Chain A
């Protein structure tokens, strides 16, 4: 009992037949082969699975693949263009905004949504925007620095 879906992922059209209960995160990882977004909790608390759906940051562990039918998904793999890192990626690298890296793909997508909406967030705004993304390694401080640096370089 499967259902056909068409999803555009990182600019490429995909067609699959999936079980209605298949989570978007498992569709992306196991069917489409995009293992950048991770599974950290399956309860939409940790944010490791965050991707963009039609330009909004979404926790892909609490959305079904069939709900993404006809929509555009952006994962961490689609962020760099032609081998050039996105300024947020560059800023995370420069500012040591990651340690084990497991939260990073989701964290970066949450930051992308923030900077899409507010190009000049203050520290409180940054912390609020990434509140739904847990990081157990960094204590968030270097992530805050990375977001500030990304905002600066994107505004430049």
Chain B
């Protein structure tokens, strides 16, 4: 079994072009907004223009009187339903009841207040404008640190301190480490609020068949199965009468790893009106009402000996939660503190999270979910330490890496790092940029008065999320493999592919294992009626867990194929190679198609064997996986404008074994683009009254093609022992490695001016102000 992937020519390891692309490049894929149902109505959601207000009344008369309007629903219609679920549980967590529509109060701009249903989408929007809501505004607070100050407005009046939870993570003894240290460096480091901005906004189509008491919800989701379980609970209907379909999904990045009010609302509307209904989020709504990411203020202290040996790290993490908990809102920062040791050997950790309510849309998972924030903070403070000790940033990292002979390595936060060679990607990246020569160039540039920077960041991440005890809803994944009577292969996976290419990579795995052509394999996903059950796609888990479930299901099938082959060849010594069962004595063979036909025709069965060729595996991973890597960024800052030019971007990542190098490169590039967006351009800005100032793409700077540097990628390969494929996951790596490398580079460029730290995004204005000697 273990040798199958190393036989002569395997598809695993090759840049096979993607199976999902023909429908995507011809415009024939079906996203939610492409679904049409007979008699379908359109819904528009009326949203609060205020961040905090009491609702004195809602008048829907003018809306209902508009020709073409079918119905208008308000908070009182759905008061008995809900709540929108929070899946995270933490000790003492305060969970406000999250109604599908606001009841007597709104808590953030964009809070849903009513839903209007009409015959077409234009009329629905017209009617939404005619819903009159009588608001009495109250004071709002949008800044997490201000929300903690005494006397701040209470987001939820029942909790005047705005504190949803506190959480501590300790390992070793940081206080002692600080006493033992030669130096303790302190820095406040933020990871600003970001807008995930999947290019396809959210959308829902709901269809109710009253005769069957059956509801179907099409939703642009990363987690259709969890959505089914949770929406059935919200609506109070039987789970087996709800079908959730996630059709083609146009990007998620964590923002569709959720169950929002609108899915249940549209189910409710379809049931009430008896007609199918479609709701498609506008981009403005997407910015206002789909979860944001990050929102950290981190106070860090790092304790070290003067030779650079790190002794410990302390962190006070203030997490801006927004007004409610969405599915995983309070859980995201707990990943940050787990990740605090980074790739380093120090054993003393003290971390406190303050989870703070604000009058903003909730934060939740966004590419990396807690790990980019942690890595940014660690890699920045390590650079601050290196600067304090006048050490080279590469040298201080080499000095503190976990050693190769220490794996599996138990961290001070209780994680067991699976495998690693942490120096290798940094060595490779340094080599790729010709580091010492680069430092010479920098010295010359500085002598000439130019501001050139070299930034290094190394990272580790927690991927393949994750073992069930570490997750709120199960961390396993499932696969069914069916060989049809003709020998064609159908895979049903519990993951939800939405750009990551698993229809291709899973086919590569199956094609190698079964010796069939890629084109003879179909990978189905995203439909709760087709697929057994599944957890979904997030946390760089789809291949490491979903692919492993698939691998084991195929092994079960192979055993059964061999039993049929042995019967058909009348032999007790049969191998299954290259898609054929071969008698090792006579050399006679039967094809997989012949075996499949015989197993379904069932004229004869091997002893103790059932007809058919189907296997299902639910696989529980024994651990997370821990990818790692090193990014190096070379920048030059324009003294006159504060503009930053990236002259080199080198990313060396170790994501374990690589199934499709082209897809892995694409994941790194895309991840870097989102990390670079955070480092240089993007920030969700709320003003003091709670208005989202960056409420459209006109004001929120998503990287364009001209804003991206050329990314040079490299890899080291350290297989994971956690799964038989040896894969670790790569979906989030680029994002995690990027932002600290970029900021370290720019701080390095400005270090001759005495700059030690800059908070993101590094806008030209901020940099120019620093150059002028003002406060950033």
The distance in angstroms between the C-alpha atoms of A139 and B713, with both chains bound, is 13
- The smallest beta-carbon distance between B633 and chain A, in angstroms, is 14
The distance in angstroms between the C-alpha atoms of A46 and B282, with both chains bound, is 13
Contacts of B282 in A (CB 8 A): 42
Contacts of A143 in B (CB 8 A): 705
Between A and B, 12 residue pairs with Cβ closer than 8 Å are: A36-B27, A38-B199, A38-B250, A89-B25, A99-B251, A100-B499, A101-B23, A101-B24, A102-B251, A135-B199, A137-B251, A141-B711
For residue A19, which residue of chain B has the nearest CB?
A: B122
Known A96-B663, A136-B251; contact A41-B283, beta-carbon cutoff 8 A: yes
Specify which of B26, B30, B280, B670 is in contact with A137 (CB 8 Å cutoff): B670
The distance in angstroms between the C-alpha atoms of A140 and B676, with both chains bound, is 13
Contacts of B29 in A (CB 8 A): 101
For residue B248, which residue of chain A has the nearest CB?
A: A101
Asked if B21 and A136 sit within 8 Å, CB to CB, the answer is no
- The count of residues in chain A whose C-beta lies closer than 8 Å to any C-beta of chain B is 57
What 1/0 mask marks residues of chain A from 27 to 42 whose CB sits below 8 Å from any chain B CB? 0010000111111111
The distance in angstroms between the C-alpha atoms of A21 and B125, with both chains bound, is 13
For residue A101, which residue of chain B has the nearest CB?
A: B24
Chain A contacts with B in 4-48, Cβ cutoff 8 A? 19, 21-22, 26, 29, 34-43, 45-46, 48
What 1/0 mask marks residues of chain B from 701 to 717 whose CB sits below 8 Å from any chain A CB? 01111101011000000
Known A26-B121, A101-B248, A102-B251; contact A42-B199, beta-carbon cutoff 8 A: no
Specify which of B21, B199, B663 is in contact with A134 (CB 8 Å cutoff): B199
Known A43-B696, A96-B662; contact A77-B28, beta-carbon cutoff 8 A: yes
- The smallest beta-carbon distance between B262 and chain A, in angstroms, is 17
Asked if B31 and A34 sit within 8 Å, CB to CB, the answer is no
- The smallest beta-carbon distance between B204 and chain A, in angstroms, is 15
> Which residues of B approach A to under 8 Å, CB–CB?
15, 17-18, 20-31, 33-34, 121-122, 197-201, 248-251, 253, 280, 282-283, 498-501, 662-663, 665-666, 669-674, 696-698, 702-706, 708, 710-711, 734
Specify which of A45, A105, A126 is in contact with B27 (CB 8 Å cutoff): A105
The distance in angstroms between the C-alpha atoms of A79 and B17, with both chains bound, is 20
A-B pairs with the 10 shortest C-beta distances? A36-B27, A102-B250, A101-B24, A100-B499, A139-B669, A139-B673, A76-B27, A99-B499, A35-B34, A45-B697
Asked if A101 and B669 sit within 8 Å, CB to CB, the answer is no
For residue A93, which residue of chain B has the nearest CB?
A: B21
Asked if B669 and A138 sit within 8 Å, CB to CB, the answer is yes
- The smallest beta-carbon distance between B21 and chain A, in angstroms, is 5
Contacts of B122 in A (CB 8 A): 19, 21-22
- The smallest beta-carbon distance between B706 and chain A, in angstroms, is 5
Asked if B705 and A130 sit within 8 Å, CB to CB, the answer is yes
Asked if A96 and B697 sit within 8 Å, CB to CB, the answer is no
Known A94-B17, A101-B20, A142-B666; contact A77-B27, beta-carbon cutoff 8 A: yes
> Which residues of A approach B to under 8 Å, CB–CB?
19, 21-22, 26, 29, 34-43, 45-46, 48, 75-77, 79-80, 85, 89, 92-94, 96, 98-105, 108, 123, 126-128, 130-144
Contacts of B669 in A (CB 8 A): 138-142
Asked if B21 and A92 sit within 8 Å, CB to CB, the answer is yes
- The smallest beta-carbon distance between A34 and chain B, in angstroms, is 7
- The smallest beta-carbon distance between B349 and chain A, in angstroms, is 33
The distance in angstroms between the C-alpha atoms of A124 and B30, with both chains bound, is 33
The distance in angstroms between the C-alpha atoms of A76 and B59, with both chains bound, is 44
Asked if B670 and A89 sit within 8 Å, CB to CB, the answer is no
The distance in angstroms between the C-alpha atoms of A39 and B708, with both chains bound, is 24
Contacts of B197 in A (CB 8 A): 136
The distance in angstroms between the C-alpha atoms of A93 and B501, with both chains bound, is 12
For residue B23, which residue of chain A has the nearest CB?
A: A101
The distance in angstroms between the C-alpha atoms of A22 and B22, with both chains bound, is 30
The distance in angstroms between the C-alpha atoms of A156 and B4, with both chains bound, is 41
Known A45-B698, A102-B251; contact A76-B26, beta-carbon cutoff 8 A: yes
Asked if B696 and A41 sit within 8 Å, CB to CB, the answer is yes
Specify which of B200, B670, B705 is in contact with A126 (CB 8 Å cutoff): B705
The distance in angstroms between the C-alpha atoms of A1 and B577, with both chains bound, is 69
For residue A22, which residue of chain B has the nearest CB?
A: B122
- The smallest beta-carbon distance between A125 and chain B, in angstroms, is 11
The distance in angstroms between the C-alpha atoms of A96 and B253, with both chains bound, is 19
For residue B497, which residue of chain A has the nearest CB?
A: A100
- The smallest beta-carbon distance between B203 and chain A, in angstroms, is 10
Contacts of B15 in A (CB 8 A): 96
Specify which of B25, B666, B673 is in contact with A108 (CB 8 Å cutoff): B25
Specify which of A45, A76, A99, A108 is in contact with B670 (CB 8 Å cutoff): A99
Specify which of A77, A93, A138, A141 is in contact with B17 (CB 8 Å cutoff): A93
The distance in angstroms between the C-alpha atoms of A93 and B21, with both chains bound, is 6
Asked if B696 and A140 sit within 8 Å, CB to CB, the answer is no
Asked if B499 and A140 sit within 8 Å, CB to CB, the answer is no
- The smallest beta-carbon distance between B771 and chain A, in angstroms, is 27
Contacts of A138 in B (CB 8 A): 666, 669-670, 673
Asked if A98 and B670 sit within 8 Å, CB to CB, the answer is no
The distance in angstroms between the C-alpha atoms of A79 and B710, with both chains bound, is 29
For residue B251, which residue of chain A has the nearest CB?
A: A100
Known A142-B665, A144-B705; contact A43-B250, beta-carbon cutoff 8 A: no
Known A93-B17, A99-B499; contact A140-B25, beta-carbon cutoff 8 A: no
Known A76-B27, A100-B250, A136-B253; contact A48-B21, beta-carbon cutoff 8 A: no
- The smallest beta-carbon distance between B215 and chain A, in angstroms, is 24
Excluding A98-B25, A100-B199, A128-B706, 15 further A-B contacts by CB distance (< 8 Å) are A38-B199, A39-B33, A46-B697, A85-B25, A98-B24, A100-B249, A100-B250, A100-B498, A101-B20, A102-B31, A134-B702, A140-B708, A141-B669, A141-B708, A142-B666
The distance in angstroms between the C-alpha atoms of A94 and B15, with both chains bound, is 10
Contacts of B704 in A (CB 8 A): 131-132, 134
Contacts of A21 in B (CB 8 A): 122
Known A43-B696, A127-B705; contact A137-B672, beta-carbon cutoff 8 A: no
Specify which of A41, A80, A141 is in contact with B710 (CB 8 Å cutoff): A141
The distance in angstroms between the C-alpha atoms of A143 and B199, with both chains bound, is 16
Contacts of A92 in B (CB 8 A): 21, 25
Asked if A37 and B27 sit within 8 Å, CB to CB, the answer is yes
Asked if B250 and A101 sit within 8 Å, CB to CB, the answer is yes
Asked if B283 and A35 sit within 8 Å, CB to CB, the answer is no
